[in-house]
Amino acid sequence: MKPLTTVQCDCLIAFVFFLALLALGVIFPSLWLMDTLTALFASGLLAMSLHLLVGYTGLVSFGHAAYFAAGGYVFGMVLQANGFVEAAGAWSVPLAILAAFAATGLFALIVGLICARLSEVYFAFLTLAFQMLFVSLIQGLVEFTGGDQGLVGGIPRPVFLGIDLTESWDRYAFCAFLFTAGVLAIRLVTQSSFGYTLRMVRDNERRTAFLGVNTYRVKVVSFTIAGSVASLGGVILAIFTSAAYPEWASWSNSGEAIFMIMLGGLNSFLGPLAGALAMRAINDVTLLYTTHTDLAKGVVILFVVLILKRGILDYAIDLVRNRRAQADNERAKALHRRDGERVDTREDADAAA
């Protein structure tokens, strides 16, 4: 039997992970748990997609939440369009998701073509400028977006392929599927040859260009993929809330995604998910005692940056590796000591003979 390839192994792990999420909803059929996990799916995809830029490409985007919000808005506007649900029938929701994914990808491509020519702080602030422009468009096009009020009136969620998104279990399972698909897409990108090219650009863009790689094109493609995957997070949140709001595109939402990456770990693939989970836990625990959630988040971020000096998951992985290395060293020393004792015993026996 041939061993599984890396792609097959990742797909198998993603399938098992999806089944585990479904099993969790079956074993603990709590509405609070399913709603909490659904919200984590949305924020987790936002952080994971941004990590493709920050962690793998070396590009810090302050406007990444714009693509998250764009996915939710396009999804909702398509389903709210007159006659669309009646015309598309059972395929209305899948078609709306594809429209959100494609439109946001095009939006990210246009922005990426402009921003990728710059680097470091100039790139970061230019992405912030486009995010502010997008928020202004949302608030200005009131007849299409609802302005400051968002897409009010509810987003239609017709039944498709036997899935009723108005039911909590169906909604949770479908959002878990979208989340798993988004994470798998990012994993396949990072483990491909293109993903290792991203690492080269991150580590030394000038040397990568010297090797003949078009670094500008690589950054544009990475930016487009990150924006497209972020749109799935917006779709999940739009399905969950049956609405879309301009606050989703705010710069503070992008900043919180960066905090998730820092908190979970910049050097780990699942670090942003760990950060999203930790951020939600900090928020919920703090609300049990006080409303100063931002203060609690700031204290935790300071602890991670100044004390751990890396994300929680990075710290845990380094700790396990160091302990394994220490155990291997001790085992090697014990074997060396035992071999030395055997040599000494053999020399004593030869001398006695």
Of residues 270 and 154, the one with the higher pLDDT is 270
Residue range 94-119: average pLDDT?
94
Residue range 38-53: average pLDDT?
95
| Confidence bin at 109 (pLDDT 50/70/90) | very high
The answer to whether residue 191 sits within a structural domain is yes
Hey, which residues does 163 pair with through a beta bridge? 160
Contacts of residue 83, Cβ cutoff 8 Å, sequence gap at least 6: none
The answer to whether residue 327 sits within a structural domain is no
Q: What is the pLDDT of residue 328?
A: 83
Q: What is the pLDDT of residue 343?
A: 57
Amino acid found at 16? V
Q: What is the pLDDT of residue 133?
A: 94
The answer to whether residue 283 sits within a structural domain is no
Task: Report percent pLDDT > 90 for the chain.
Answer: 62
Q: What is the pLDDT of residue 332?
A: 82
The answer to whether residue 14 sits within a structural domain is yes
Q: What is the pLDDT of residue 352?
A: 63
Angle at 220 between CA 216 and CA 222, to 5 degrees: 115
Domain count of the fold of the chain: 1
Q: Is the per-residue pLDDT at 338 higher than 90?
A: no
The answer to whether residue 347 sits within a structural domain is no
SS3 (DSSP) at 310: coil
The answer to whether residue 178 sits within a structural domain is yes
Tell me how crowded residue 151 is: count the other CB atoms within 10 A of its CB.
Answer: 24
The answer to whether residue 256 sits within a structural domain is no
Q: Is the per-residue pLDDT at 340 higher than 80?
A: no
Contacts of residue 56, Cβ cutoff 8 Å, sequence gap at least 6: 190, 195, 198, 199, 202, 222
Q: Tell whether pTM > 0.85.
A: yes
Residue range 108-123: average pLDDT?
92
Compute the Cα dihedral for 22, 27, 31, 34 and give only its sign. Answer: negative
Residue range 70-95: average pLDDT?
91
| Confidence bin at 348 (pLDDT 50/70/90) | low
Q: What is the pLDDT of residue 63?
A: 93
Rounded Cα gap, residues 41 and 240, in angstroms: 10
Q: Is the per-residue pLDDT at 66 higher than 60?
A: yes
Rounded Cα gap, residues 186 and 22, in angstroms: 21
Q: What is the pLDDT of residue 345?
A: 65
Q: Is the per-residue pLDDT at 134 higher than 70?
A: yes
pLDDT in tens, 136-152: 999 998 888 888 888 87
The answer to whether residue 331 sits within a structural domain is no
Rounded Cα gap, residues 244 and 126, in angstroms: 25
Residue range 65-82: average pLDDT?
94
Rounded Cα gap, residues 227 and 223, in angstroms: 6
Full residue range of the structural domain in which residue 41 is found: 6-250
Q: What is the pLDDT of residue 325?
A: 87
Rounded Cα gap, residues 268 and 339, in angstroms: 40
Task: Report percent pLDDT > 70 for the chain.
Answer: 95
